[in-house]
Amino acid sequence: MALLTRDQINSAVDRKWEDVPVPEWGEGAQVRLMELTAADRGYIEAGSVVAQGQAPQLKVESLKVYRQKIVAFGLVDEKFERLYSNKEIGELDKKSGQVIERLAAKVQELSGMGRFAVKEAEGNSDAAPSGSSASG
């Protein structure tokens, strides 16, 4: 198998998505949630910690809207465009915490984040490394 080129990597569709029912928002209501991009994950994670000397600490203000950020970055329309801009994330503060928690967990699952990252890593732990390695 040939190695991929940059153009092939850039054009590959590699983000998972899932339509999820949200009965709390109306009969038959559903939303489309999509796996976060690397940039989105970085933005959310970087906004949740603040470096203090050598030990990063959790940033309380950012953690208050952590789930809303995850949901806002993961909610997309039929064309896979985000429904909420960064400036509109606060609108999700008024929604049911239980619903936001459930949707955030689904985005995390799709994105392999948090407890879902551990599950994914455990599933890949039996795989043997391929290629060669050099030791010095």
pLDDT score, position 126 = 47
End-to-end CA distance of the chain: 28
CA 54 to chain centre: 27
Percent of the chain scoring above 70 in pLDDT: 72
Copy the structure tokens of residue 66.
């952590």
In this predicted structure, the answer to whether residue 24 has a pLDDT above a threshold of 80 is: yes
Q: Alpha-carbon distance 122 to 117, whole Å?
A: 9
Q: Alpha-carbon distance 23 to 30, whole Å?
A: 7
**pLDDT tens profile 56-79:** 555 555 567 889 999 999 999 999
Give the confidence band of 124 by pLDDT, cuts at 50, 70, 90. Answer: low
DSSP code of 23? G
Q: Report how far apart, in Å, the C-alpha atoms of 44 and of each of 76, 92, 133 are.
A: 17, 16, 34
Q: Which CATH number fits domain 15-36+64-117: 3.40.50.1820, 3.40.50.2000, 3.30.910.20, 3.30.2220.20?
A: 3.30.2220.20
Cβ atoms of 17 and 35 within 8 Å: the answer is yes
CA 129 to chain centre: 26
Percent of the chain scoring above 90 in pLDDT: 62
Listed by start position, the domains of the chain span 15-36+64-117
**pLDDT tens profile 26-54:** 999 999 999 999 999 988 877 665 555 55
